[in-house]
Every structure is written in C-alpha cells, then in structure tokens.
C-alpha cells in the first residue's frame, strides 16, 4: 500500500508520508520506488522526504540517484537531504560530488551539509576542499561545518589553518567549532592559544569555549590559568 501510494497517489502530502514510512520498513522492495520518486516526482517536498528516507535506509545502491539529485535537483532542500543521505551511506564514491557541492552549490545549507557528509566519509581527498571552505566561504555556517569536518584530519596543514581560523575568523560559532576541532590535535600550540584566550579575550562566549577546551587537555600549564579565571573572570558563566 505504501509503495502504491508513493507511486500513484495524486496528493503530494500522501506521497510524502508514504516515503517517510517506507524508510521505517526493512524491505528491499522499497528501494526501487523510492529511487523512481527521487528522480521523477513533480513535488519538491516529496523528493526531499525521499532523499532523507534513502539516507535512513543506507543502501549504497541509492548512490547514483542521490548524486544526481545533489547535482541537479532545482530544490535546495532536496540537494541538502541528498548530501546528508550520502554522508549517512558513507560510500567514498560520493566524495567527488560532495566536494563539488561544497565548492559550488549556490545554497549555503547544501554546502554545509556537504561538509558534514565529507566528515562522515573521512576521505583524504576532501581535506583541501574543506580547508578552502574554512578560508574562503562567505557563509559562517559553512565555515563552521567545514571546521568541524576537518577534525578527522591529523595534519600540520590542517592545524595551521584551524589556528588561523581561531585567531582571525569573525564568527563566534566558527571559533567555537575551531576550538573543538583543535582539541583533537593534541598540539601544544593549541594549549597556548586557548590559555591566552581565557586570560585576555574580550568575548565571553569565546572565553567560555576556551575554558571547556582546556578542561580536556592534560598539561601542567592549564591549572593555574583555570584557577586564575575562576577568581578573576567577570563572567559567572566562564567562572562556572
């Protein structure tokens, strides 16, 4: 009944609900009608739901159809869900299409989701495009996602880019995400940068994020800095 509803019901809301419910059914017969709907349903919200459902199913057979949707669907939310689904599937075959979307899609949500999907796949070839997004994308949400995505890459070039982002990016969210990503590097330069932020950064939100980062670092230099902040910082949130 659900397959029939998805394929032939005239009401978009019914087809959308059918797509959602098919994702909860572990039946291989569901895949073909979902792929057909992704390619040809005239309603963008139905295609959006189908793309999300294919991510839930996580069948690599959906890869070509999802890549096509990511590259060519006119509706941004469909491309967004297609990128997310490709990340959920985790097949490296999606990396070139995700890199292209990260660098060129006109919608910031799609670029952001492409960055997160690349993080899920953890392919080495994605590191340069993610670095480019951190340094060049005009949208702070894209830069924030790209920063988080780079946490899987334990490379000197990545550490340098993240340290620069921490020092220079105008977005609080980007710098917060950068702190979280840098903690994974176990680099002494990160400890020094965070200690300086706790002691002298004028932004309460950033000082608080730096304190949270320092709490995860095993370094004898950290305790005096945190103790000093406890007694001296003007923000109760930072002190807590």
pLDDT of residue 26: 66
State pTM to two decimals: 0.91
Q: What is the mean pLDDT of residues 191-201?
A: 93
The answer to whether 58 touches 89, Cβ cutoff 8 Å, is: yes
CA distance 212 to 201: 14
For the stretch 149-167, pLDDT in tens is: 999 888 999 999 999 999 9
Q: Where are the alpha helices (DSSP H) in the chain?
A: 2-8, 12-22, 31-40, 44-57, 63-72, 76-89, 95-104, 108-121, 127-136, 140-149, 156-168, 172-183, 188-200, 204-214, 222-232, 236-239
Instruction: Please list, residue by residue across 44-55, b when 16 or more beta carbons sit within 10 angstroms of its beta carbon and e when fewer do.
Output: ebbbbbbbbbbb
Q: Please give the DSSP secondary-structure letter assigned to residue 202.
A: S
Kindly indicate the confidence band of residue 176, based on its pLDDT and cuts at 50, 70 and 90: very high
The mean-pLDDT minimum among 16-30, 35-49, 132-146, 148-162 falls in 16-30
Alpha carbon separation from 20 to 46, 182, 205 (Å, rounded): 9, 38, 39
Q: Is the pLDDT of residue 134 over 90?
A: yes
């Amino acid at each position: 009944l659900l397959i029939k509803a998805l394929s032939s019901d005239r009401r978009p809301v019914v087809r959308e609900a059918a797509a959602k419910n098919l994702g909860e059914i572990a039946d291989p017969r569901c895949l073909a009608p979902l792929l057909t709907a992704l390619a040809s349903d005239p309603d963008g919200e139905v295609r959006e739901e189908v793309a999300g459902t294919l991510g839930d199913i996580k069948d690599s057979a959906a890869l070509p159809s999802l890549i096509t949707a990511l590259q060519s669907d006119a509706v941004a939310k469909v491309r967004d869900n297609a990128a997310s689904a490709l990340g959920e599937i985790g097949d490296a075959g999606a990396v070139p299409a995700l890199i292209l979307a990260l660098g060129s899609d006109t919608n910031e949500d799609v670029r952001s989701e492409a960055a997160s999907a690349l993080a899920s796949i953890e392919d080495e070839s994605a590191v340069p495009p993610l670095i480019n997004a951190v340094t060049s994308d005009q949208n702070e949400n894209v830069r924030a996602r790209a920063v988080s995505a780079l946490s899987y890459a334990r490379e000197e070039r990545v550490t340098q880019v993240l340290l620069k982002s921490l020092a220079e990016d105008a977005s609080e969210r980007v710098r917060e995400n950068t702190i979280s990503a840098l903690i994974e590097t176990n680099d002494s330069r990160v400890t020094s940068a965070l200690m300086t932020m706790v002691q002298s950064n004028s932004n309460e939100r950033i000082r608080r994020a730096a304190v949270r980062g320092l709490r995860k670092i095993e370094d004898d230099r950290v305790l005096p800095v945190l103790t000093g902040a406890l007694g001296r910082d003007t923000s109760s949130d930072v002190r807590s």
